[in-house]
Amino acid sequence: MNSVVILANGDFPKHPTPLRILKEAASIICCDGAVNYLNEYGLKPSQIIGDMDSISKELKIKYEGRLIHIEEQNENDLRKALKWAENNGAKKAIILGATGKRDDHSLANIFTLLEFPSQLKMTIFTDHGKFSVVKGDQKFASFTGEQVSLFSVDQTIEITTTYLKYNLNSKKLTTLYFGSLNESINDIFTISISHGEILVYQVFK
């Protein structure tokens, strides 16, 4: 299990990109009630992780052998799933269904990518674009006109970019909105950061 797809319990994907990821996934870990939507869509979960308070009775019986019941007051079902995947050998997690519905859940899920202590390479695909984590120096596949936003919680991180419309040169992001609304001007762009991790968001074509 090198790469896993985790379906969180926000809005079920509508956009072709996350739907394709879901359909092509070798294994899908569902966060609790998300399995209701997956089942309706005609796909099967490999595991269902959570405190099982929102999965239907019928599906509890149908997927009895795939239920992994984890009670942990401080963690939501997404972080339980990420921890379980890492403990079971995953190196990479693609997260779907992380946004929509409750805004506090969406925020907590997005910043889990950045702030949850894990060795997993994590990305979130929503119906509008994808969030990924930047460490050190990275090159991103892009296209001219691609809308790009950077988010840093740690205001001490210095960021340098190339091939963006508004490039940063050893610049710190002093607010969470300051790095938003940028744009790619090439088929790649690069981001180098002094230390730590930041989020990059790329809007789908």
Residue numbers at the binding site for its own copies (CB under 8 A)? 73-74, 76, 79, 99, 101-112, 114-116, 126, 128-129, 131, 147, 149, 151, 153, 166, 175-178, 180-181, 201, 203
Instruction: Give 28 or 130: the residue with its C-beta nearer to its own copies.
Output: 130
User: Measured between alpha carbons, how far is 48 from 29 in angstroms, rounded to an integer?
Assistant: 6
Q: Which is nearer to its own copies, 39 or 149 (CB)?
A: 149
The dihedral through the CA atoms of 101, 103, 107, 108 has a sign that is negative
**Cα 184–Cα 190–Cα 191 angle in degrees, nearest 5:** 110
Could you give the CA distance from residue 174 to residue 133 in angstroms, rounded to a whole number?
18
39 or 126: whose CB is closer to its own copies? Answer: 126
Strand ranges, E, within 33-91: 47-50, 67-69
Least Å distance, CB 151 to its own copies, is 6
Counting every residue written for the chain, the total comes to 205
Q: How far is the CB of 112 from its own copies (least distance, A)?
A: 5
In the complex with its own copies, the residue whose CB is nearer, 64 or 104, is 104
According to DSSP, residue 21 is labeled H
- Report how far residue 102's alpha carbon sits from residue 110's, in angstroms, rounded to the nearest whole number: 13
Shortest Å distance, C-beta 109 to its own copies: 8
CB of 115 to its own copies, least distance (A): 4
Nearer to its own copies by C-beta: 115 or 137?
115
Q: How far is the CB of 124 from its own copies (least distance, A)?
A: 8
Residues 160, 170: contact at Cβ < 8 Å?
Answer: yes
Taking the least distance from each CB to its own copies, the nearer of 37 and 62 is: 37
Where are the strands (E) in 14-173, listed by range?
28-31, 47-50, 67-69, 92-96, 121-125, 129-141, 147-151, 158-162, 171-172
The minimum distance between CB 127 and its own copies, in angstroms, equals 9
